[in-house]
Structure 1
Amino acid sequence: MWRPRPHSRRVSCFSHDKKGKRTGATIVETALVMPVFFMFVFAIIEFGHATMINNVLKNACRTAARWGSATGATTAQVEQYARDRMGGAVNPAMVNIQIKDASMFDTGGDAPKTNADFQAMPDIELENAEPRQMFMVRASIPYGEVSLIPQPWLGGVTLSGQTFTRHE
């Protein structure tokens, strides 16, 4: 015959019935986990912001180069057009825009890797450019100028976008 068990009371170490058993454990665990959690969340936000700025620079270069190659605009007009395209996401006055002659790459070769290599490329006046002459529009800004949270360990990082296109 089945007999019910006498009611037994189980007490776990996680129970709050015994006073003093886990006093303050939740606060200590929260104090250890929350800083790591917030660092992770802020890193995701910062990475997303940097990616957005990088995409804005690339898009501004691409649209300015297309506009400049098709309309016969001057170099200064193309530079201003690029600045106008990025105005909502970044302060355009802080962005370094270079418009250079890239016809040296008609025979092949790799694009420059460093900012000094880009600076060494010859300047071009698009108003006087030959048909089918290749040129480059490049926009760059130091990461520290646009970061949401100051990060001194990323001081040497530069966000940039560039486009190579031919003049029509």
Structure 2
Amino acid sequence: MTPPATHRGSGMWWKRGKGIAQRGQSVVEFALILPVFLLFLFGVIDLGRAVYAQTVLSNAVRDGARAAVVATRTNDQVVQAVIDAAVGVPLTAANVTISGTRQPGTAVTVSATYVFVPVTPIISRIVGTSLRLTASSTMTVD
């Protein structure tokens, strides 16, 4: 590949001017695409946060159901097990419910709800200002 000619002629000035125009065009294109790209990026981050919260919630209620099938655990201990397992999702005792008699051979269901609040306005317009995430797990008492 041969380099462009370096002679002094009118063509050189024309090439230099075209390069400046192309750089200016690139800046304008970047300025137009940047807000769209950032909204998309933060939307994906919000979606990832919601999936993370749902996964943590599911794992926490499964751990709570495991704790509930142990006969020596009280309901308060089961609720605390769910709250402790929900790392990164701020749960309170009011968000966790336990249903079932906890007698051998019966089923115990542990449920939890969490209100996820998206940060990005585009996600807020799709799902609303908040999204209620729920998870439940049922296990049989031994």
Q: TM-score, normalised by structure 1?
A: 0.64
Does residue 92 (structure 1) correspond to residue 65 (structure 2)? The answer is no
* Equivalent position to 2:113, from 127, 132, 140: 140
Unpaired segments of 5 or more residues in structure 1?
1-6, 102-123
Asked whether the 8 Å contact 2:91–2:114 carries over to 1, the reply is no
Asked whether the 8 Å contact 2:114–2:132 carries over to 1, the reply is yes
Counterpart position of 1:75: 75
Structure 1 vs Structure 2: percent identity of aligned residues?
Answer: 27
Counterpart position of 2:44: 44
Asked whether the 8 Å contact 1:134–1:164 carries over to 2, the reply is yes
* Separation in 1, partners of 2:85, 2:50: 17
More helix by share: 2
Q: CA RMSD in A?
A: 2.9
Deviation (angstroms), 1:92 = 2.2
Amino acid at match of 1:158: R
Asked whether the 8 Å contact 1:95–1:141 carries over to 2, the reply is no
Counterpart position of 2:132: 158
Cα distance change on mapping 1:19 and 1:157 into 2, 3 Å: closer
* Separation in 1, partners of 2:40, 2:93: 29
Counterpart position of 1:57: 57
Counterpart position of 1:24: 24
How many residue pairs get aligned? The number is 131
SS at match of 1:92: coil
Cα distance change on mapping 1:165 and 1:16 into 2, 3 Å: farther
* Separation in 1, partners of 2:93, 2:41: 27
Asked whether the 8 Å contact 1:97–1:137 carries over to 2, the reply is yes
- 1:72-127: CA deviation from partner (whole Å, max 9, x where unpaired): 312221111101111x31222387111123xxxxxxxxxxxxxxxxxxxxxx5xxx
Amino acid at match of 2:72: G
Deviation (angstroms), 1:148 = 4.3
